[in-house]
Structure 1
Amino acid sequence: MKFKFTWPMGIIIALVSFMIFISTFLYLSFTPKYSHNLTSEDYYKDELNYQQEIDLEERGNSLKENVSIKKVEKGLLISFPSEFEPSKISGTISFKRLSNEKIDFTKPIKLKTNKLLISDDILVEGRWDVNINWNVNEVSYLYKEKLIY
């Protein structure tokens, strides 16, 4: 017996293939393989403070020398402006990893010199969002950088 392929059979095969594709797509989109989290739990509250962040960043950019981040052999070297006395600089450094919030961390800024080393041990290769909130003489500054480590 010879099988004859007709156009109604082609339509049926196309519809069944499409239904299998859609079913597979729906199944894969609802499995917890990927985590679809917001970058912040207080996303909408953060947006209200966004203009303040812009002002703090502009204040930092108006300095003669802003914060800089450089990769060195032992980790990341963060340099603060030399125009300020290191003991008067305070604040926090936040490292956020969008792909895995479990490895996010925040460090306080305590300086003896104008440089701070973030050790290689706590950094994982990949993309990091670095936010440095720092204060000198009750004046606040903000430095943001997205870097690939």
Structure 2
Amino acid sequence: MKINWGTGLVIGMVIFIGFILILVYKMTTDHNLEHDLVTDGYYQKEMELQDDIYARQNSMAMEEQIIGQKNTKGYVLEFPESYDPKNIEGMVFLYRTSSKKLDFELPLDLTDSNFLIPDEFLLKGRWNITIDWEYEGKKFRFKKEITY
């Protein structure tokens, strides 16, 4: 039996559509694939976006910025001298893009203007540091990407 070009075209389209439908079915029903969001509570964090914008604007408006640098004991965050360390409250969150299991959070407890993140907490590689802090009722957010 000889197949003309019209029949061949219809057969080719049916095979292609069947392939696409099988691919879509496999991708949506395969439980081996992880469909996790980047962070837990993603939608809640999206709702807090405006607070984040205000905190970042407050940080950018500071006369002196927070400085971070590596030393022999770990990574040191130096807060501006003009801020009283006793009145600074907040959290330091370190996010590792390669593994959620390595993420950790430290309370911001300052006795002087320096905050040390100990060397044993930081593996070599890229880290995202986020400091959410409050000083005299005003919220600040500092973000920095480092390679340790």
Tell me, yes or no, whether TM beats 0.5: yes
Equivalent residue runs for 1:28-47 within 5 Å: 37-47=36-46
Alpha-carbon distance, 1:141 to partner: 0.5
- CA shift digits 1:35-85 (9 cap, x unpaired): 663221111221121122111011011011121211112110001111111
The one-letter amino acid paired with 1:148 is: T
- CA shift digits 1:97-119 (9 cap, x unpaired): 12111111100011111001111
RMSD: 2.2
Query: In 2, Cα distance between the equivalents of 1:35 and 1:78?
Result: 36
Query: In 2, Cα distance between the equivalents of 1:105 and 1:35?
Result: 22
Partner of 1:49: 48
1:110 equivalenced with 2:109 (yes/no): yes
Partner of 2:137: 138
- CA shift digits 1:108-145 (9 cap, x unpaired): 01111100111111101111111100111121100011
Three-state SS of the structure 2 residue aligned to 1:66 is coil
The one-letter amino acid paired with 2:142 is: Y
Three-state SS of the structure 1 residue aligned to 2:128 is strand
1:101 equivalenced with 2:91 (yes/no): no
Segments of 5+ residues of structure 1 without an aligned counterpart are: 1-25
TM-score by length of 1: 0.74
Partner of 1:83: 82
Three-state SS of the structure 2 residue aligned to 1:117 is strand
Three-state SS of the structure 1 residue aligned to 2:134 is strand
Query: In 2, Cα distance between the equivalents of 1:37 and 1:128?
Result: 20
Query: In 2, Cα distance between the equivalents of 1:87 and 1:52?
Result: 24
Query: In 2, Cα distance between the equivalents of 1:67 and 1:39?
Result: 27
Three-state SS of the structure 1 residue aligned to 2:62 is coil
Three-state SS of the structure 2 residue aligned to 1:83 is coil
Three-state SS of the structure 2 residue aligned to 1:63 is coil
Three-state SS of the structure 2 residue aligned to 1:40 is coil
Three-state SS of the structure 2 residue aligned to 1:121 is helix
- CA shift digits 1:10-53 (9 cap, x unpaired): xxxxxxxxxxxxxxxx8xxx695x86632211112211211221
Partner of 2:124: 125
Query: In 1, Cα distance between the equivalents of 2:96 and 2:36?
Result: 12
Alpha-carbon distance, 1:88 to partner: 0.9
TM-score by length of 2: 0.74
